[in-house]
Amino acid sequence: MSKKYILALVILVAVALSVGIWALSLSPISSPPQSDNSTQHIDPDWTFPPESEPATLLPDFRPVIAEVMPSVVSVTTETVVSSLFGQSTEYVVGSGILTDDKGYIATNNHVVENAQSIYVELADGRTFPANIVGTDSLSDLAVIKIDATDLPYAYWGDSSLLSVGEWVLAIGNALGGGGGATQGIVSRLNVSVNVEGNTLYGLIQTTAAINPGNSGGPLVNMSGEVIGITSVKIVASEVEGIGFAISSDEAKPIILDLIRYGRVTYPWLGVGLYTVDPSLAAALNLSVDRGALIVEVVADSPADTAGLREDDIIIRFGGQEISNVADLVRAIRTSEIGEEVGIVFVRGEDIKTISARLVERPTS
C-alpha cells in the first residue's frame, strides 16, 4: 500500500470521528423524568413513634383451674332405648357443678333427661350413683344429688357484672375424657337461642371451646366464680368458636327452686309473641318499630281476660321497657304468680294501658 493511500485513509477516519463527535454533541442526553411531587412527603426529622407500654401478658389460668376443678364433676347417664331390633342401652356424658358440701349438683336438663341411671365421678376419682332432685326443660337446667358430704363446692358470681371481652374458662368433662379446661372471652351478653323449639334467654356467648361432655359444667371468671353453666354450641360447617352458657343470674333462682321444691313455677300471661324491629315495622306498616307483637292469645288466659288481642304490640310491662320478646319474657318471669301488672301496648295508632293478673304457667 502506498504512503499516499495510507495518508488519505487516516484523514478520512479522522474526519468521520469528528463528524460523529459533533453529531453526538448535538443530541440531547436523556435523563429520568422528575416528579413534581417527589419531595412533597419527605420529612427529614421523622422517626418511629415512642415505644408503648409493654404488652399485657395473658392471665395465669392455672390458679383459677386449680380452685374450680375440685367442684366440677363428670356425669354419665344410662337410658334404655327400644327399637325394631330390641332394647339397647344408650350412654350420655356431661358435666355438673357441686353447689354445696352436701352433694347437690347443678347440670343441664338435656344431660339427665329420660335417664334410668345416673353416675357421678368426682375430681378425686370417687364415683357415686345420683338421683334427680328436679328438672326444668324451659331453662335446660336440672339438679341431681349424690350421697356424700364434706365436698368441695363452687362459688357463684354475678353475671350482670360481665363485660364483652372479659376472660372466661369453660371447665368440664369434654368428650367424656374427664376434667379439662378451655379459655376464651365473653363475645356477647343477653343472647337468646332457639334449641329444638325452646328458646333459652339471657345466655352468655363465649369463644371458649365447648365440646360434647361440657354441658352442665361451669363457665367461670378470673376470680374462679361460676358466672354461667355451659349449655349450647352452634355446630355448622361455616361456624366456629360460638358457644353459649346460661348466665348465673338466670340459673341461680331456678336451681334454688329445684332444690327447695323439686320444680320451677313460672308466671304466665298466655300470649304468642314476635319481636318488632324496624324491618318488620316497615313490612307490616306498624306504628312503632320496637316491642313484642302478639301473634296469639290463649283463650281464658290472663291476656285474654285483660282484653289483649292479636296484633297488639306490648311496649311496657310492669314498669319495664319492652323492646323485644326476650325483654317481655324476662319481665314476666321475674314477676310473681298472682301479681297484677300494668301493661302498655299499641293498638293500631293508639297507645293503651291495661292490667293483667298473672297465673302459674300450665304444665302442658
CATH number assigned to the domain comprising residue 328: 2.30.42.10
Separation between Cα atoms, residue 342 and residue 67, nearest integer Å: 46
How far is Cα 304 from Cα 284, in angstroms, rounded to an integer? 23
CATH label of the domain that carries residue 106: 2.40.10.10
Torsion (CA) 302, 305, 307, 310 in degrees, nearest 10: 60
The verdict on residue 288 lying in a domain is: yes
Among 215, 231, 261, which residue terminates a domain?
Answer: 261
Can you name the residues that pair with 129 across neighbouring β-strands? Answer: 119
Whether 209 and 127 share a structural domain: no
- What pLDDT is stored for residue 260 in this prediction? 95
Whether 203 and 247 share a structural domain: yes
Owning domain of residue 116: 68-81+88-146
pLDDT at 39 (0 to 100):
64
Does any domain span residue 57?
no
Please list, in sequence order, all residues whose beta carbon lies within 8 angstroms of the beta carbon of residue 348, skipping any fewer than 6 positions away. Answer: 287
Q: What is the pTM of this model?
A: 0.78
User: Are both 276 and 356 inside the same structural domain?
Assistant: yes
> Is 215 a catalytic site residue?
yes
Residue 25 lies in a domain: no
Same domain, 301 and 347: yes
Assigned domain for 312 exists: yes
pLDDT at 35 (0 to 100)? 54
Residues 249 and 333 in one domain: no
Looking at residue 45, its pLDDT comes to 84
Same domain, 73 and 97: yes
Q: Report the SS3 class of residue 309.
A: coil
Q: Are 159 and 248 in contact (CB under 8 A)?
A: yes
Q: Which candidate, 180, 186, 179, places its Cα nearest to that of 221?
A: 186
Least Cα distance to 330 among 134, 190, 163, 143 occurs for 190
Whether residue 211 lies inside any domain: the answer is yes
In a shared domain, residues 170 and 255: yes
Question: Is 357 strand, coil or helix?
Answer: strand
Q: What angle do CA 324, 326, 328 make, to 5 degrees?
A: 75
In this structure, is residue 5 part of a structural domain? no
Boundary of a domain, candidates 261, 294, 320: 261
- 296 and 245 in a common domain: no
Catalytic residue among 71, 95, 110, 248, which? 110
- 277 as an active site residue: the answer is no
Same domain flag for 247 and 273: no
Considering the domain boundaries, does residue 284 fall inside one? yes
Shared domain for 180 and 244, answered yes or no, is yes
Residues 6+ apart with CB under 8 A from 182: 169, 170, 174, 208, 209, 210
Number of structural domains, the chain? 3
The pLDDT of residue 166: 96
What's residue 196's pLDDT? Answer: 76
Same domain as 218, residue 198: yes
Which of 202, 228, 261 corresponds to the end of one domain?
261
Name the one residue in this structure whose C-alpha cell is 413534581: 36
Pairing of strands 359-360, 340-347: unpaired
Taking only the tens of pLDDT, the chain with its 364 residues reads 554 544 444 444 444 444 444 444 444 545 555 555 566 778 888 888 887 777 777 789 999 999 999 999 999 999 888 877 878 888 889 999 999 999 999 999 999 999 999 999 999 999 999 999 999 999 999 999 999 999 999 999 999 999 999 999 999 988 777 778 999 999 999 998 888 778 888 899 999 988 888 899 999 999 999 999 998 765 444 555 688 999 999 999 999 999 999 999 999 999 999 999 999 999 999 999 999 999 999 999 999 999 999 999 999 999 899 999 999 999 999 899 999 999 999 999 999 999 999 999 997 6
135: in domain: yes
Q: Which of 74, 187, 215, 301 is catalytic?
A: 215
254 and 210: one domain?
A: yes
CA distances, 340 to each of 115, 311, 316, 356, 364 (Å)? 39, 22, 14, 5, 23
Which residue in 145, 95, 147, 141 sits closest to 254, CA to CA? 141
Q: Exactly one of 136, 140, 249, 257 is catalytic; name it.
A: 140
